[in-house]
Amino acid sequence: MKKRDSTRKKRRKKRDVALVLDQTEDRGGYQILRHRRGTNEVELGSIVPLEEGRPIQGEVVSLTRREDVPFLYDVETELPDPRGRERRPVSQGPAQVATDDYRRGWEAIWGQPAAKPN
């Protein structure tokens, strides 16, 4: 029995892990925290079931529920993000929503930002 448990623990360490937090606002999926193997990063994301005719919005993953903790899942990536985008790490502060075009327009109307006094 102990040998089987140690083999199971070794398999778990090699996979990504997801913690289910809550349902999404539209109740169509779940919000999760995901820890990717080999990193110290934890990502906040959401998962939704695949639907025929609906575009894929990220990776395609399969989840395997852990027997000992019902809200933890082992994550296996079946298909990487088809958009080919790299993951953007979560940073402190608000989301960056101003584009270069937006800034040029702002500066054309309101002028350059004032220099900060030292």
Instruction: Encode pLDDT of 62-115 as tens digits.
Output: 999 999 988 899 999 898 887 765 555 556 666 667 778 887 887 888 887 777
User: Residue 118: pLDDT above 80?
Assistant: no
Question: β-pairing, 30-35 with 60-65?
Answer: unpaired
**pLDDT band per the 50, 70, 90 thresholds, residue 39:** confident
pTM score, whole prediction: 0.57
Q: With pLDDT > 70 as the criterion, what percentage of the chain qualifies?
A: 76
**pLDDT band per the 50, 70, 90 thresholds, residue 21:** very high
Which burial class, exposed, middle or buried, applies to 99 when counting CB atoms under 10 A from its CB (0-12, 13-18, 19+)?
Answer: exposed
- Output the CA–CA distances (angstroms, integers) from residue 79 to 16, 31, 83, 84, 113, in the order listed: 14, 20, 11, 11, 45
For the chain, report the end-to-end CA distance as a whole number of angstroms.
68
The count of other CB atoms within 10 Å of the CB of residue 18 is 22
Query: How much is the pLDDT for 115?
Result: 74
**pLDDT band per the 50, 70, 90 thresholds, residue 12:** very low
